[in-house]
């Protein structure tokens, strides 16, 4: 595994943890104009980013093993 694969795994972990902290945190992220909370959409965004970074890391790792 090279540096980019390792960095992708690290970014995946950070974004997963950030999504969990936002989802289970005490703060409400309210949009002033509509009064709706952004807690759930922001959590899903970070979880989706974690999935993308994880897929990138696995792809990089698979490319390294073929050679």
- What are the pLDDT digits (tens) for 42-54? 899 999 999 999 9
| Sole residue written with tokens 């945190």 | 25
31/49 Cα distance (integer angstroms): 22
Max CA distance (Å), the chain: 54
pLDDT attached to residue 26: 83
pLDDT band at 58 (very low <50, low <70, confident <90, very high): confident
Residues 6+ apart with CB under 8 A from 16: 46, 47, 50
Name the average pLDDT for the chain: 84
pLDDT attached to residue 51: 93
């Amino acid at each position: 595994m090279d540096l980019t694969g390792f960095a992708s795994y690290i970014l995946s972990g950070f974004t997963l943890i950030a999504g969990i902290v936002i989802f289970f945190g005490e703060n409400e992220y309210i949009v002033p104009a509509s009064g709706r909370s952004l807690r759930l959409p922001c959590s899903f965004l970070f979880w989706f980013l974690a999935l993308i970074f994880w897929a990138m890391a696995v792809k990089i790792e698979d490319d390294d093993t073929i050679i």
